[in-house]
Structure 1
Amino acid sequence: MLRWHLLILLLTSALAHGSELVIATTLSPEATEHIIGQWQTQPQAVSIRTLNRTSSSLERLLNNPLGEKIDLVLSSSPMLMQRLQDGGKLSLFENKIEDSRRLVPESIRSTTVAVAISGYGILVNRTRLQEKGLPTPKTWEDLGDARYQGMILMSSPSRSDTTHLMIESLLEQRGWQQGWASLLQVSGNLATISSRSFGVANKINTGLGAAGPVIDNYANVLLNSPNLSFNYFPTSRAAPMFIAITHTSTNQSEAGRFITFLLSPSGQQAMSDSDSGKYPVYPLPPNHPMAHQQSLLLEHPPLNYPLTIQRQKLVQLLFDSAITFRLTQLQDAWKALNQAELNLKRPLPEIRALLTQVPVSAEQAADPQYLSQLEQQPDFRESQLMAWQQFFLQQQRLAIKQLEALK
């Protein structure tokens, strides 16, 4: 009798597991909760369980043959989707919705579907700013203003593909050298570097920082707080949210049905509800309250995805070498420079130039051979990292030497 009970329990468990969709996602639980809740109201909807991971962790999960069985991957990262497709981890999916297809990089259109769009901007804690008597920062230049010293938060591209895409957008729009100059100036105001991009939003919400660059859906789920506000970057472009079915999914049909739901009117409505903070892939009618911002996001040209994917490793390594691993020294150097400019009542462009240069040229950053060596040759990568370290150390020494000469 006991044996029969055990057999029934095992069969029940197997059936339950078979009727469940598992979604591995780089999004926060708050960003997916509402969408999944709306799916569960559909007739005969199977249950969904999410695994929230960073891109690198999610990739390791899918590369582990003994790991969790995953049916769908949901992420804002085209780089992740490209690597998964290249590794044979994704199933083919025919997406006939042109409004969705055009938002997907051409190289991954055979497997990957765009189901929503977002934009980037600055989340601020208004209470903290009011306490300091400071205006709301709305641009990258504002984030680098000396008045916000020790009050800015952001993540790094090696920890967050969302942050990586924000940085790539800045680099493409401003140019390689000027883009890095803006980032290095912002670095002087950083309180810390968060390990996750949605951690930036949560820290600002709790008052650990006053402002920081984030994607809109991480901000919007928190905007019921009267302390917070969010403003899009004036040049923010549309950042699609992608989904794909894994090659090993045993629930391909149900997974496909979930994607079809997301592209349906009710699914798109769920995506654009305030709880999700995203925009549908279909153009909204002009009288819709979200139509103007959606139009602004879509009017900017998309990222150069081939270049973004190709130089991902370079941007990650250079950001950590230039900023993450030098944060304390940068904070000290910028504090000294800002104080010197205040005392002298004039800018010091020569010293600023020393603190905002990077050791990689725009030509190298677009050179397939250089990028390939950096990606695939450990010895070459290590030699570059050592050279970069020496470059930043020398620049910092020169800046400090010139600042001391002004005293």
Structure 2
Amino acid sequence: MQRSILAMALAAAGLWGAAQTAAAGTVTVITSFPKELTTAYQKAFEAANPGIKVEILNKNTTASVAYIRELPEGQRPDVMWASAPDAFEVLASYKLLQGAPEVVNRSAPEKIGNYPLNDPKGMYYGQALAGYGIEWNTRYLKAHKLPVPKEWSDLVRPEYFGHIAISSPSRSGTTQLTVETILQGEGWDKGWTQLLQIMGNAAAVTDRSFAVPDGVNNGQYGIGIVIDFLALAGKYSGYPVDFTYPSMTAVVPANIALIAGAKNADEAKKFMAYTMSVPGQQLLFDPKIGRLPILPYSMLKPPAGYPVPQDIAKRAKVQFNTELSGQRYPVVISLFDQMVTFRLKELQAATKAIHEAAAALKARPNARGGELLAQARSLAYTSLVGADNVKNPEFLELFRKSRRDVAVSKQLTGMEQMWSEKARANYERARQLAEEARGLAK
């Protein structure tokens, strides 16, 4: 019996040791990237590193940040991999990232335009490059006799009503970056006015960023506001789509970082280094991935006519401020949801009435009608949070606090409900004023 117990104990110890070895050979990566990209890297890395497995935990960027924050040290994923640099700033501010400078590929440039490729504080590193812009379906635009949009300002025009799609920034880190790029380029108040005008023309606000290019690729939507790699993947895969970078854009790194308290830091660092190596960078040109690499094209084999990141950066008018974006990150996504995502029908109705009134007043000008139309536009297209408020440290700090705190949750929920109701009332009043203005032009 003693021999049997000893044998069982040894067997159990052996199984436990094997389990520990298996765990030690697994890199858990939390990422918002699509399956096409993660599967390609997973297979390539595992083939180059026998004995190390890659486990992909797919969540949108906002959910990834929340997930990492809620887990104790020792239970967190090993690697954070996403496009939004401000999400990494948020994680770094909570001391949830760990420096790993040895993974950096020194052949990559230090900057893209004037923007640092890697975090100056050494907490996260550029693994690919991304710009933000406009995708369109060439057949759809031809069928609807729509001109090709080139700038964000084009999308406020009435002919694009009902033809545009975007994802919610609370569900998509890349959309949050696009929204923030417009806000930084135009300024907070003017930027929100432009965003709300564009959103009034939107046909849909989707749950995930992938749904926008998928919809443009299949002709469900004519125009999509997307990150470049989602559009390029469609273009180079043969869909009837094209893409442009507006002048009011930015080229910023998509980042990768070691999470503080990672279970398998050594294996995680190997994975991170692989994504920045020549083989890892060459994978970015796969038609199903379509991303811009950090390494010079002289070290790689890009497809003919592939966008050159440095050229785009030289033309871009926005010098993206990651720190500013990180500070107001939760405010922007919450405000967008309350004013747009959850009130899209009301915003669409107000915008439709404004377009119709503007057309009627153009044909038959009326002074009173013009005043009413101006009031309607102001109500529909003014942010509920002004530029001064968003600079208030106490206001920003409230949104950084955990909603697990009952008092904090109650305060934030009350504020968001107030925004939602105010937006609904403003859009309804804007619609009424626009319809009254239109009536004066008859």
TM-score, normalisation: structure 1: 0.87
Assess, with a 3 A threshold, how the Cα gap between structure 1 residues 216 and 50 changes in structure 2: closer, same or farther: same
Q: CA deviation at 1:272?
A: 4.1
> Which residue of the other structure, out of 30, 39, 48, is the alignment partner of 2:45?
39
Match of 2:36 in 1: 30
Distance 1:363 1:226 in 2: 45
Letter in 2 for 1:297: I
> Which residue of the other structure, out of 259, 270, 275, is the alignment partner of 1:262?
275
Distance 1:370 1:66 in 2: 29
Match runs of 1:386-397 below 5 Å:
388-389=419-420, 391-392=422-423, 393-394=425-426, 396-397=428-429
Q: CA deviation at 1:117?
A: 0.6
Instruction: Percent identity, please.
Output: 28
Letter in 2 for 1:372: E
Query: Secondary structure of the equivalent of 2:234?
Result: coil
Gap runs ≥5 in structure 2: 402-407
Distance 2:40 2:248 in 1: 28
Stretch moving more, 147-156 or 126-135: 126-135
Letter in 1 for 2:269: G
Whether contact under 8 Å (1:117, 1:241) holds in the other structure is yes
Match of 2:334 in 1: 317
Match of 2:117 in 1: 103
Q: CA deviation at 1:59?
A: 3.2
Q: CA deviation at 1:179?
A: 1.0
Query: Secondary structure of the equivalent of 1:345?
Result: helix
Aligned pair count reads 405
Query: Secondary structure of the equivalent of 1:136?
Result: coil
1:167 aligns with 2:179: yes
1:80 aligns with 2:87: yes
Assess, with a 3 A threshold, how the Cα gap between structure 1 residues 313 and 58 changes in structure 2: closer, same or farther: closer
Assess, with a 3 A threshold, how the Cα gap between structure 1 residues 58 and 386 changes in structure 2: closer, same or farther: closer
Letter in 2 for 1:354: L
Stretch moving more, 308-317 or 289-298: 289-298
Once the two structures are superposed, what CA deviation does each residue of 1:99-145 show, in whole Å capped at 9, x if it has no partner? Answer: 35722343xx3321111111111122222222212222232122222
Root-mean-square deviation (CA, aligned residues, Å) is: 3.2
Match of 2:99 in 1: 92
Whether contact under 8 Å (1:203, 1:209) holds in the other structure is yes
> Which residue of the other structure, out of 313, 331, 335, is the alignment partner of 1:298?
313
TM-score, normalisation: structure 2: 0.81
Q: Which has the larger radius of gyration?
A: 2
Whether contact under 8 Å (1:176, 1:362) holds in the other structure is yes
Match runs of 1:148-159 below 5 Å:
148-159=160-171
Assess, with a 3 A threshold, how the Cα gap between structure 1 residues 320 and 60 changes in structure 2: closer, same or farther: closer
Assess, with a 3 A threshold, how the Cα gap between structure 1 residues 193 and 295 changes in structure 2: closer, same or farther: same
Distance 1:298 1:405 in 2: 44
Letter in 2 for 1:242: N
Distance 2:430 2:273 in 1: 58
Q: CA deviation at 1:43?
A: 5.2
Distance 1:375 1:68 in 2: 23
Match of 1:337 in 2: 354
Query: Secondary structure of the equivalent of 1:233?
Result: coil
Query: Secondary structure of the equivalent of 1:406?
Result: helix
Once the two structures are superposed, what CA deviation does each residue of 1:212-260 show, in whole Å capped at 9, x if it has no partner? Answer: 1111122222221332222222332112111112233332222112222
Whether contact under 8 Å (1:74, 1:242) holds in the other structure is yes
Assess, with a 3 A threshold, how the Cα gap between structure 1 residues 17 and 368 changes in structure 2: closer, same or farther: same
Whether contact under 8 Å (1:118, 1:240) holds in the other structure is yes
Q: CA deviation at 1:10?
A: 6.3
